[in-house]
Structure 1
Amino acid sequence: MTSTPSHHPSLPFGLRWEYDFWGPVPAWAATPNIATIEALSRQHLGADNLSVEFLAGGAFNKVYSIMIPSNNISDPKSYVFRATLPVEPFYKTASEVATLRLLRQCTSLPVPEVFAYDCTTKNELGFEWIIMEKIPGTRLKDLWPCMNLEQKKIVIERLGQFSKELREKCKFNAIGSLYQRTELSEGDLKVSVATDYNDFVIGPIVNASFFAGKRKPLTKRDRGPYRNDRVYLLALLKVEMEDKKLLLKLTSDKRAAGIQKAKHESLESDETDEDDDAEDAPEILENIQQLLEILPSIFSEDMQTEKFVLHHHDLNRSNIMVDHTTLEITGIIDWECITTVPAWEDTYPKMLLGEDMEEQPDPLVFGETDECRIERWEKWENTKLRKISDQAAGSGANNDKDACDKRGFREQLYLLEFSTKMVKDWIIEYESNKKYK
């Protein structure tokens, strides 16, 4: 089940990595040519008269609006062209297209229709790209601050119904990413897992934990698919371990050679990368080893019989489009890096996560600026909205002790780069609780 990466002599065209407080983030080393985008749009949409404008930029993408005039001047046809960075070449684009197509085929979730795409960089643009439907409506983010609790309940109840539909209609036998069978290579097909939908299979996972930064794609990565959550978590731990081992080796080689930069362009250090991060690497490796020792006590070795479900891990107010008058959800967007997950990882939408607060605080006054009062009110509102979500979804958010332990363990992998102390404290607390059970 191990996918061996190609060892590129340099980073893929257009991609560079920067490092902030939270770790590596992708950045554009080249900008997509808008004239080429126009030409591709004309070719694949069959329209000579169209205009293209830059719309927005995200972590991995640059998004452009395509407008095609129609006989009805007030209702031109609108599309989205999205160019994407090759952070996980081929697989990220291919899996997103497959996910969108399966959702449109098997569910009522309002997701964009894909009209054309290229999973490779071997095209005129030099980047992977997708042309898709432009979802009508307003971002929930722009309406939320002005909505009252009853209005918010309408949206959350609908999201809960969509969550229930996903759990019932999109069940799979492995953890990984969705692909159209015809897209995968023979090698990937050999390890892929069949689904109930003949055109689709579960293949290598597309997850930032496996590709973020310049080093991870150069290490040996088991990218699945995985038959149970224990193998999945083991793969996550090992990719972090291999990343830190490579970091220490590169740093040692640099010091031994007495030079300031790595010899190879693909491994050239940013000021905030290898020199600084190498100091924390031994402590991170120690944490990883301790987590590996704990792993068997939380994740069973037996093959799980449960099904795995699609989960939109980044379901926030920016990715939900609504009709501003009816509050009906018109679209759910940003399905890149979405994978199948075990039940314990399928929880509330990102915007509803947080601690419960049962006692209602004093209502906010119009124009309230006190951040503490606003935070308390939002915490109370979210407590109410989580209950609405539970009712609509037909189940709670998997809050039994085993699920909480598994989510707690998973969270430590996110924290490894951020705070080794927080990880150590969690390990100590877990082992102490286990000792006195």
Structure 2
Amino acid sequence: MAQQTYLPDSRIKWTIHANSSPIWPSDPDTSIIREIAASALGMPADSLSVRFLDDGANHKVYDISQTNNSPTSVAYLFRVAVPVDPVYKMESEMATLEFLRQKSTIPVPRPIAWNSSATNPLGYEWALLEKVPGVELEDVWLKVPWEKKVDIVESIASYLGQIWSLDLRFSKIGSLYRTTFVDHERSDDTSPPATPTEPSSMSMSRADAAFKEGFKIGPVVDGIFSSHRRRYLESDRGPYTSCSSWLRALIRIEKEYIRTGKLLIEEQQTMEKQEDADDLANEIGLYTDDNPDAMLDTCDGYMRALPLVFPPPDPSRLGEARFVLQHRDLRAANIIVDPETFNITGIIDWENTCSVPEWEGLNYPLLINEMDPFTPRPSESDVAALKEEGNMPEDRLHILRFQWSLWEKQDLREVFDRKLEQLGFSKDWRPNSPEDDLKSDFIGGVSDLSDSWESSADGLREIKARAQLSPNASPPSKL
């Protein structure tokens, strides 16, 4: 039956709202977390305390501290992963953090130990990291003076400039792993990758030993392959040697998601006991106003249009290092700063980082990547009133704050541009040619194939019209 294959009883379920997130089967046991952390750190368990800290989309985070409160004691974070993308996401995130520590000056959390298998006493994958001191920039942004905002944006430009440099580029699209992990995945050997000797009950890998053999691009870690039912579908996760092979894989997984959703709906209609329509729609991912046949036609349309936007790659360029790492969520909540000096102490949340082409990866960080201002710049008296707040109606205050924020972020984008120029990047560093825009719109349309399929279909018609270039126009580059 389709349901047993594509909606197995053991599946992870998801919440029903716009920013859907996986539902945890159970809460992690903090006593086991303490035992694992103690083993990894070589400390007695009773010398550590465990405190729940935060609940993210894919992780629960715990604060690990020493009970003696020594000034020299180090604080740690223990992150427990819900099994949305088993093994790959954890292995790639740890490799990405260590790669950045070794190859750049970007301040990232230091991995201590992790387990990418849920077959352990905790029952979940986990990672132990050194805790980055400070607070989220989001919490203090309104208090940060302009001069420090300039410093923050210049620092971020320097960090991104490092991972965009020719020295840190890759010849494939995919995610980072330790070399032995990728090589094992490609071999016929069914034994697990070699790891340092550890207590068998913990089965952990240690960062100080795991990465001596280096790093390698492997299968891509992306929610498009693991969210909702997609985890249970066949897919090609790369790594990819070209944009065309990457986009082909993205279209295929969305088409398979729609095709199997249609099968599940048809099967449900033949069953004596039918589930609640709303619950079923959320589980399957298709709704009553969806048209699966039209959705599948749109998938086929994108596949037919693919060569117009992404021609088959030039074989002579397949080995070129032209793909850049992309932090996919570089917003204020993932930038940690000292609450007194506002200096950056860490950049966090590198999960789902992968190498992508320039037209996808080179962009402003989300921190300052806002729309352009649409009204005149607020006057000095307006800004002064904004700071006082109490002398203005709430609705006027809200509008003024929003518009002031747009102008401020535009100014900070100019700061970002100047810093990149100082680092040797072109003045026009951001890919924004008609060809680049067409590629970006194409991948945007592919990402909407199942969730906003009518918008995706409209986008396809526009993409096809724009891709029919005039005889004198330059064809798309073969990347």
TM range (shorter): 0.7 to 0.9
Distance 1:21 1:8 in 2: 21
Distance 1:63 1:275, change over 3 A: closer
| Counterpart among 320, 323, 328 of residue 335 in structure 2 | 320
| Counterpart among 368, 371, 382 of residue 409 in structure 2 | 382
Secondary structure in 2 matching 1:77: coil
Q: Paired residue for 2:52? A: 54
1:434 Cα deviation from its structure 2 partner: 4.4
RMSD between superposed Cα atoms in Å: 2.6
Q: Paired residue for 2:258? A: 244
Q: Paired residue for 1:409? A: 442
Aligned partners of 2:173 and 2:242 also within 8 Å: yes
Distance 1:278 1:231 in 2: 33
Letter in 2 for 1:290: G
Of structures 1 and 2, the larger Rg is shown by: 2
Aligned partners of 1:188 and 1:203 also within 8 Å: no
Q: Any residues of structure 2 matched to 1:34-45 within 5 Å, and which?
A: 34-45=30-41
1:189 Cα deviation from its structure 2 partner: 5.5
Q: State which drifts further: 147-156 or 247-256.
A: 147-156
1:278 Cα deviation from its structure 2 partner: 6.0
Q: Any residues of structure 2 matched to 1:30-179 within 5 Å, and which?
A: 30-48=26-44, 49-70=47-68, 72=70, 74=71, 76-168=73-165, 169-179=167-177
Secondary structure in 2 matching 1:80: strand
1:256 Cα deviation from its structure 2 partner: 2.1
Distance 1:171 1:314, change over 3 A: same
| Counterpart among 247, 256, 259 of residue 270 in structure 2 | 256
Q: Paired residue for 1:429? A: 462
**1:285 paired to 2:299:** no
Q: Paired residue for 1:11? A: 10
Q: TM-score, normalised by structure 2?
A: 0.80
Secondary structure in 1 matching 2:53: strand
1:117 Cα deviation from its structure 2 partner: 0.5
Q: State which drifts further: 88-97 or 372-381.
A: 372-381
Distance 1:10 1:322 in 2: 44
Secondary structure in 2 matching 1:201: strand
Letter in 1 for 2:365: P
Q: Paired residue for 1:212? A: 227
Aligned partners of 2:180 and 2:213 also within 8 Å: no
1:76 Cα deviation from its structure 2 partner: 3.8
Distance 1:323 1:32 in 2: 30
Distance 1:114 1:198 in 2: 16
Q: State which drifts further: 56-65 or 150-159.
A: 150-159
1:306 Cα deviation from its structure 2 partner: 5.1
How many pairs were matched up? 416
1:7 Cα deviation from its structure 2 partner: 8.4
| Counterpart among 285, 302, 325 of residue 313 in structure 2 | 302
Distance 1:154 1:136 in 2: 19
Distance 1:416 1:361 in 2: 40
1:309 Cα deviation from its structure 2 partner: 1.3
Q: Paired residue for 1:3? A: none
Deviations 1:8-45 (A, max 9, x none): 95436xx32223235x5211121100110011111111
Letter in 2 for 1:414: S
Distance 1:8 1:431, change over 3 A: closer
- Unpaired stretches in structure 2, ≥5 consecutive residues: 189-211, 471-479
1:92 Cα deviation from its structure 2 partner: 0.6
Q: State which drifts further: 228-237 or 142-151.
A: 142-151
Aligned partners of 1:181 and 1:189 also within 8 Å: no
Q: Paired residue for 1:371? A: 398
Letter in 2 for 1:166: I
1:75 Cα deviation from its structure 2 partner: 5.3
1:398 Cα deviation from its structure 2 partner: 1.5
Letter in 1 for 2:403: R
**1:360 paired to 2:377:** yes
Aligned partners of 2:373 and 2:406 also within 8 Å: yes
- Unpaired stretches in structure 1, ≥5 consecutive residues: 1-5, 191-196, 263-267
1:291 Cα deviation from its structure 2 partner: 1.9
Distance 1:417 1:354, change over 3 A: farther
Secondary structure in 1 matching 2:367: helix
Structure with the bigger percentage of strand: 1
Aligned partners of 2:258 and 2:286 also within 8 Å: no
Deviations 1:32-74 (A, max 9, x none): 00110011111111222010000001000000000114573x5
Q: TM-score, normalised by structure 1?
A: 0.88
Secondary structure in 1 matching 2:129: strand
Distance 2:39 2:107 in 1: 26
1:275 Cα deviation from its structure 2 partner: 7.9
Distance 1:274 1:8, change over 3 A: closer
Letter in 2 for 1:332: I
Percent of matched pairs sharing the same residue: 30
**1:336 paired to 2:346:** no
| Counterpart among 22, 25, 33 of residue 26 in structure 1 | 22
Secondary structure in 2 matching 1:352: coil
Aligned partners of 2:54 and 2:62 also within 8 Å: yes
Letter in 2 for 1:11: S
Distance 1:411 1:361, change over 3 A: farther
Aligned partners of 1:112 and 1:133 also within 8 Å: yes
1:233 Cα deviation from its structure 2 partner: 1.1
Distance 1:250 1:418 in 2: 17
Distance 2:322 2:137 in 1: 31
Deviations 1:58-117 (A, max 9, x none): 000000000114573x55421000000111111110011111111111111111111111
Distance 2:90 2:403 in 1: 40
1:181 Cα deviation from its structure 2 partner: 1.8
| Counterpart among 222, 235, 241 of residue 221 in structure 1 | 235
Q: State which drifts further: 360-369 or 116-125.
A: 360-369
Distance 1:275 1:243 in 2: 8
